[in-house]
Chain A
Amino acid sequence: MEKSNDAIINTDVLETVSEWSKSGMKTAIATVIDTWGSSPRPAGSQLGVNERCEMIGSVSGGCIEGAVVKAALEVMEDNKPQILEFGVSNEDAWEVGLACGGNVKVYVEALES
């Protein structure tokens, strides 16, 4: 990416996903669709992922990105959107550690090329 510095901080997630796709990579987009309690990123926050597990943007303060990338790789293969839920009442959340005590729902979809 020529604008890698910008890309790290800026919210141009879809632009980067589009560039990845143009270069022939499989890509997926994760979007926060619901939050309860204290969660680090509001609804609408997005994370782009490519087949090399490179990320752009975020859906949390870094707590659940690992699990989301794993789902993104599955979605890239079968093209079936997934809805992931993370929260203190959820065992996965303990596993990945959503330390803020919030709950978050994430929609993961592939970019169909």
Chain B
Amino acid sequence: MLYREAGQFKTTYAEDQQIFPIRQDRIAMALLLVVAFVVVPMIANQYWLAAILTPFLILALAALGLNILTGYAGQLSLGTAAFMAVGAFMTYNFVLRMPWLGIIPSLVLAGLCAAGVGIAFGLPSLRIKGFYLAVATLACQFFVLWVLQRVGWFSNHSTSGVITAQKIVILGYEFVSPASKYLFTLAVVAVMALAAKNLMRSQTGRAFMAVRDMDVAASVIGIRMMGTKLLAFGISSFYCGVAGALYAFCYLGTVEPEAFSLDLSFRVLFMIIIGGVGSILGSFLGAAFITLLPIILSVLSGAFSHVTGIEISYAVLSNFELIVFGGLIIFFLIVEPQGLARLWQITKEKLRLWPFPH
């Protein structure tokens, strides 16, 4: 009843081409932003802000980056965490060595460095395809982390290998409290998500999708393979790099190679698979799912042992979490291979007809 587009006539091209052509979507989006920027920092407690919402946003950004590469341009990558590590370490170095630069330009420059690394490791994609490429990106994962560990310059010759991230300062205001870090992250993520959404509607995005769907056909209609693939690697790594910097500066508070292990790469990959490959919304849904799942599981098991009186040992619990996690992934792939974003789309289509489907 409420979700109808009847009567919304579009009289200009600009109206026809806006991001959310349906008025209800625009209202919902505005409400969501208001809730995220104003309501959440007011009502959420420190734990939720620092341990759940901030990492959720950061991982959503990383998932968005990977989605650009894997979901839109069709190049499977297992090196996400390496690009994130580059972003984190380079931000640290820019802030350390060029303090006059400010945090935002440092973030952008670090993202560009990650993009450079991404393009370098994207070069094989011109020759190698499919799973061969996926394994090749593993080389990036191991090599980059090795370099960051071995070359002292990156960690400013720190002996422990764990560096404390600098404070985020903009115009003299220090982002220290969880709420302020959350807002900083949210602002960055919102801007970059908007940019990604627009980019994917542009000629570049369509070129990505053409390469994904059939590379021969894409090159026949005049899309340059090399430029497009490398651009996809560059943009994706830029997003991952910024996400990695936020991960270190807003969430962990430290910059260390161990935080960016292969495990993180896989988690981000799970996010886009569960959320929806080739969907901006899907990156967020997937990130929410993967971040919340362990918390829900531990709450459930706590409730279980409270009700039945059986104490579950930590080892069993963590292994049980593994099983449920893996099982859910398989379950989701079987039930909805196109992810949560597809479920949302189906819901919207149903809503448009509700309550009279015929």
Same complex origin of A and B: no
Interface residues of B (CB under 8 A from A): none
Interface residues of A (CB under 8 A from B): none
